[in-house]
Structure 1
Amino acid sequence: MYSSITCKIGTSSMNQPITAHLCYLLTAACFLLICEGANIKIINGHDVIPHSRPYIALIETLKENKKSVCAGSLIKPDWVLTAAHCKLIANITTVTLGAHSMTQNEFEKQKMQVIRLFPYGTYNRTVKQNDIQLLQLSKKATLGDAVNTIPLPETFEDIPEGTVCRITGWGTTESGNHSDTLKEAHVAILKKKKCIRDWRHKYLITADMICTNVGSDRQDTCKGDSGSPLVCDDVFRGVNSFGYVPCGTPETSNVFTQLTQKYVLWINNIINNEIDSWGKEI
């Protein structure tokens, strides 16, 4: 996790540490300006090294001149895993792989259409359960350094409280403009009992969910990061589902659909054409 923030002072190119008081003020300003928007980038994160997260998928849907953005993870050359609450449309939604900048013409980018959607059959938007969705792409990606798959977990033990994990994604700023580059921050796994207490008046936290604590510098995901991966000790553990509004609120938690054995079996069966999205054998 990040213990300090640095900035450039005046016209000097030398990075200077911000005092604790100024850091607090800047963090508060970030909270007030960024978190109130509808689709927000990773809160208090940093740019990743370009193309260092080759499994990240930028998911965009343009409908009636309105663009929505989600993120996802490439798990097979022609399959992306994301959240079911992302409102996507087959043959209209596009996936861009190998992107660092959302707008620049990068050589590494591969863009394709989503041809089939497989939301988990018992996904419930009202109670936020089973918030997971598979996307089949129009063609297989060419794999390499900038575009590659992330393996699904092979073990399903509980992740210990305090384990530091990565959250990554795109979104829009408070002005309504897209964050042009891929952002990432570090957060820690929150004890399930604490997460259940946090959400007891709104949602039921189930065994198929995993929670993270908003970081000490208010590191958090927000709506523009829907479907983005939670990676702990380099293992893909969850899909970003929902969190507290305003984003980055201290002492709150963010909730992911945990990649339990149930979901991994469902994913493999869909890809292998053994069941449909409802779990019915084909």
Structure 2
Amino acid sequence: TASRIVGGSEASRGEFPWQVSLRESNEHFCGAAILTEKWLVSAAHCFTEFPDPAMWAAYTGTTSIRGSDSGTVKMGIARIIPHPSYNADTADYDVAVLELKRPVTFTKYIQPVCLPGAGHHFPTSKKCLISGWGYLKEDFLVKPEFLQKATVELLDQTLCSSLYSHALTDRMMCAGYLEGKIDSCQGDSGGPLVCQEPSGKFFLAGIVSWGIGCAEARRPGVYTRVTKLRDWILDAISA
């Protein structure tokens, strides 16, 4: 029940410069976002099966799943640090940080996303953006050639909790549409949900975590709520 983008459109180069493709044994497996020159943030559930950093590589600066464009930078992973409270059964605390083997150089196509403050308010029904190379349809296991993006609405927590029989915790948030049609899907997991503020800056509001199906009615995507975990993220990357 991970996530992919259904009902989206192709992203242009440099539109999501913080987007990372995490490859396990050279296959795109999850998304991530650039926090600093040395650190990425993703979902803890991406690494339960493959916890060894040596099996992973991060592709940055590209919108192509093959990583074939000229600005692509392939990075090795030195460490994977999942949240110590991550619970695989409930998907609570679904966040991990990844340390790169060497710092990445920022370019027009490689930039960090802004981490929100703990008190940063992302209002209900705000329109935000998801991006990833996940499946384009739920039961149609085709991954796109180029990075996909979609606009989703932040949903009311109480409403979303009721749709998921109260399985939501404070570390989760929902985005999408009650009628379905647009959502993240398998392969988008760990990728960013970003919201643009009036300053023009994009802030990381959520991390693609789980859902039931993809783009189904009354089954919106569930994301790790970054404001609740930013203190841990900052501690982990500065330790």
Q: What TM-score does the superposition give when structure 2 sets the normalisation length?
A: 0.89
Determine if the alignment matches structure 1 residue 208 to structure 2 residue 171: yes
- CA distance in 2 between partners of 1:96 and 1:104 (Å): 7
Q: How do 1:259-270 residues align onto structure 2 when only pairs under 5 Å count?
A: 259-261=226-228, 263-270=229-236
Determine if the alignment matches structure 1 residue 184 to structure 2 residue 149: yes
Determine if the alignment matches structure 1 residue 163 to structure 2 residue 126: yes
Q: Is the 8 A contact 2:23 2:56 kept in 1?
A: yes
Secondary structure at 2:161 match in 1 = helix
Unaligned runs of 5+ in 1: 1-37, 274-282
Q: Is the 8 A contact 1:39 1:172 kept in 2?
A: no
For the pair shown, which has the larger CA radius of gyration, 1 or 2? 1
Greater strand share, 1 or 2? 2
- CA distance in 2 between partners of 1:162 and 1:172 (Å): 25
Secondary structure at 2:234 match in 1 = helix
Secondary structure at 1:225 match in 2 = coil
State the 1:52 CA deviation: 1.5
User: 1:252 maps to which residue?
Assistant: 219
Number of aligned residue pairs: give it: 229
User: 1:72 maps to which residue?
Assistant: 32
- CA distance in 2 between partners of 1:39 and 1:212 (Å): 14
State the 1:161 CA deviation: 1.6
- CA distance in 2 between partners of 1:126 and 1:80 (Å): 24
User: 1:130 maps to which residue?
Assistant: 93
Residues 178-210 of structure 1 deviation map (CA, whole Å, 9 limit, x = unaligned): 31100000110111110110111xx62111111
- Percent sequence identity over aligned pairs: 25
User: Structure 2 vs 1, CA of residues 228 and 137 (structure 1 numbering), >3 Å: closer, same or farther?
Assistant: same
Q: Which runs of 4+ in 1 moved over 6 A?
A: none
- CA distance in 2 between partners of 1:140 and 1:130 (Å): 26
Secondary structure at 1:193 match in 2 = helix
Determine if the alignment matches structure 1 residue 97 to structure 2 residue 60: yes
With CA pairs under 8 Å and 6+ residues apart, which has the higher RCO, 1 or 2? 2
Q: What TM-score does the superposition give when structure 1 sets the normalisation length?
A: 0.76
State the 1:40 CA deviation: 6.7
Determine if the alignment matches structure 1 residue 242 to structure 2 residue 210: yes
Residues 137-195 of structure 1 deviation map (CA, whole Å, 9 limit, x = unaligned): 11111101000111210252442221101011012456644311000001101111101
Give the CA RMSD over aligned residues: 2.0
Unaligned runs of 5+ in 2: 197-201
